[in-house]
Amino acid sequence: MNRDSHDISRRQISENALKVLYRLHKSGFKAYLVGGGVRDILLGLEPKDFDVVTNATPDEIKKLFRNCRLVGRRFRLAHIVFGRDVIEVATFRGHHGENSDNISKSNAEGRLLRDNVYGEIDEDAERRDFTVNALYYDISDFSIRSYGGGIDDLHARKIKLIGDPETRYREDPVRMLRAVRFATKLDMQIEAITAAPIKSLAPLLADIPAARMYEEVLKLFFAGKAQANYQMMQDFGLFAPLFPQIQGVISEFPKGHAAKMLNLVMRSTDERVNQDKPVTPAFFYAAILWYPLKQRADDIALESGLPLYDAQVAAMGDVMEEQCRTISIPRRFSTPAKDIWLLQIRFERSQGTRAFKLLEHPKFRAAYDLLLLRGEAEGGHTAKQASWWQAFVEGDEAQRNVIAKSSNKAGGNRNRSATQRKRKRKPAAKSPDTSAE
């Protein structure tokens, strides 16, 4: 497609990406803007990043750019760093032949473990995942090269895999998640042949390194399409391999609190993203794992006789450790998530004048937001508790004092009567007649 047949302008490409493209071109190498950057501009969207592909090897790229660092083990990449902006540059990928294991290696299931096989642009295009990503903008003449019918599929709003779907999914099971993400992001349909093997191959996701899955989950649930992605993942069986504990609770209680909470969290996350409000993995994981945590805490309390608070503390480590087997959650998010969990118990114990102190806790707001979602999911006592805290949080100082004193008085009476009942039962438990029986 020559320059006159498309409307991509260099004004739509980042200045840093153009610097990389021009330097590669002037140094005698082929250089193309590739994939999502080209695709999104053609769709009238604003690209989030610009990737470059070239026939220069990673070592040759590093010699051209002092601000270059080489990354990646599975496939070697060059990152050209401009402050916070990073332009990713890849060498054309080639087909596998009689290559050494040092260059290309796959496991028994067909997943590529190492893929440093270089080739030409035609081979690179065939190695790309979807046709709508096999689009190359040539900096030498400003033309676009489309492979596998990419331009046609873009116009038809169709997500189509390049090559045999089962083989391509086995090479990299994350492509199944990418198919879902592109379909929702671009408002497209996954072609029937591309969709057919997904459900049967979904369990392959369990073998993907947990650190890589963390990044994929961020892309799925923190880009304003969480609800749509969650629903499509459930339809294809892709959610269970990533969140086995949550899926276990949902499978046992399909219309229970956990299922309601998931939908509420996805909806809430989308709303915040679309309103440019901050979202954090700490709250996200605390919310979606709350009911697996509660179930585990109840089991521990029943088995060991521990008080609920102690059982929940013990359960937190179990639940977070189990989740990290499939998705590696950094400690900077897992630790605050545990704080949010612990505050759920303190909410019930702090209705009264102690509420003022709890209000100062650094994780109060996130924990309060979770309480509101729990109230919506559960109703009943939790909804009343959430309403009390909502009135307290939204009230002015005078209103808070009235609410706290009123609740403290009612709570004090209940606590005294409970203590009295407990004291009356103690002598009866030690009665000689009771022991004889």
State the number of CA atoms in the 13 A half-sphere of 115 facing the CB.
21
Q: How much is the CA Rg of the chain, to the nearest whole Å?
A: 28
Which strand (E) or helix (H) includes residue 136? strand 135-138
Which of 40, 115, 124, 129 is catalytic? The answer is 129
What are the contacts of 101-105 at 24+ separation with CB within 8 A?
none
DSSP string, 34-94: ETHHHHHHHTT---S--EEEESS-HHHHHHH-TTEEEE-SSS-EEEEEETTEEEEEEEPB-
CA atoms of 74 and 90, how far apart (whole Å): 12
CB-based burial of residue 437 (10 Å sphere; 0-12 exposed, 13-18 middle, 19+ buried)? Answer: exposed
SS3 236: helix
**Do the beta carbons of residue 131 and residue 153 sit within 8 Å?**
yes
**Do the beta carbons of residue 339 and residue 285 sit within 8 Å?**
no
**Strand-pair partners of 366:** none
CA-based nearest residue to 181, from 220, 213, 217, 129? 220
Q: Give the torsion through C-alpha atoms of 376, 380, 385, 390, to 10 deg.
A: 40
Q: Give the torsion through C-alpha atoms of 217, 218, 220, 224, to 10 deg.
A: 150
CA-based nearest residue to 320, from 348, 290, 349? 290
- For the question of residue 4 being annotated catalytic, the response is no
* Residue 226 Rama label (left phi>0; alpha psi -120 to 50; beta): alpha
- For the question of residue 129 being annotated catalytic, the response is yes
What are the contacts of 409-414 at 24+ separation with CB within 8 A?
411/351, 411/352, 412/352
* Residue 271 Rama label (left phi>0; alpha psi -120 to 50; beta): alpha
DSSP string, 348-408: HHT-STTHHHHTTSTTHHHHHHHHHHHHHHH-HHHHHHHHHHHHHHHS-HHHHHHHHHHHH
**Do the beta carbons of residue 341 and residue 348 sit within 8 Å?**
no
CA 432 to chain centre: 61
Which strand (E) or helix (H) includes residue 115? strand 112-115
- For the question of residue 49 being annotated catalytic, the response is yes
* Catalytic (active-site) positions: 49, 51, 129
